[in-house]
Chain A
Amino acid sequence: QKEVEQDPGPLSVPEGAIVSLNCTYSNSAFQYFMWYRQYSRKGPELLMYTYSSGNKEDGRFTAQVDKSSKYISLFIRDSQPSDSATYLCAALGNAGNNRKLIWGLGTSLAVNP
């Protein structure tokens, strides 16, 4: 079992839809949870991160972590064609061997005008 699991999709939604992207993880030592966005033929870029459990909002994007169920979510409201990209979740522990980003496979999202 991979330490971070993510459904690769692809996911296709109409413009304006609410998008829900999800990951699960297995290592209880993970404390930081990130979402990176990768446009085609570009490097990933950090969208946002959360520490431990809870929500974090940034504009149309909300990241959510539920440590009890080891579930990570990214919600995109009022999705735009410019949101079409691959979204990668990643998790990180605090120390030692856990101080290394573990990546999900990435979910490919297409937002259709």
Chain B
Amino acid sequence: DTAVSQTPKYLVTQMGNDKSIKCEQNLGHDTMYWYKQDSKKFLKIMFSYNNKELIINETVPNRFSPKSPDKAHLNLHINSLELGDSAVYFCASSPPGQGNPDTQYFGPGTRLTVL
């Protein structure tokens, strides 16, 4: 009955490889996000999709490409991985903001290590 799930939980790979992280939410939310949390714990938004439409696209290298096949899924594909991509990547989702803040529900994170 996990609300926001991510796979894989851990990912160790070599520089230059291409990898994908998958995210699924069963909360019926319209909006999904990808965040990167670095070793200093700073949480930085990367992308946000609302009903499969990209609404936030922060200054992220174009090696990172999100894809939302439907509103319950938001995947993140990373090309040509670099050492600096090592971080924990969190997926989150939120319900439609009806005058209240968009409470975000986070997945467990994917710990990416690039060697």
Q: Which residues of A contact B (CB under 8 A)?
A: 8, 32, 34, 38, 41-46, 49, 51, 86, 88, 92, 99-101, 103, 105-106, 108
Contacts and interface: CB of A to CB of B under 8 A. Distances in A.
Chain A interface SS verdict (over half): strand
Contacts of A42: 108-109
Interface of B: 4, 40-45, 48, 56, 90, 92, 97, 100-109
A63 B105 CA distance: 20
B41 A46 contact: no
A105 B109 contact: no
Chain B interface SS verdict (over half): loop
Given A44-B106, A46-B103, A92-B102, A86 B92 contact: no
A43 B92 contact: yes
Contact of B101 (A38, A44, A49, A105): A49
Nearest to B106: A43
A99 B97 contact: yes
B41 A32 contact: no
A49 B106 CA distance: 16
Of B42, B43, B92, B102, most buried by chain A (CB within 10 Å of CB) is B43
Contacts of B101: 32, 34, 49, 51, 92
Nearest to A108: B41
Given A41-B109, A44-B43, A101 B102 contact: yes
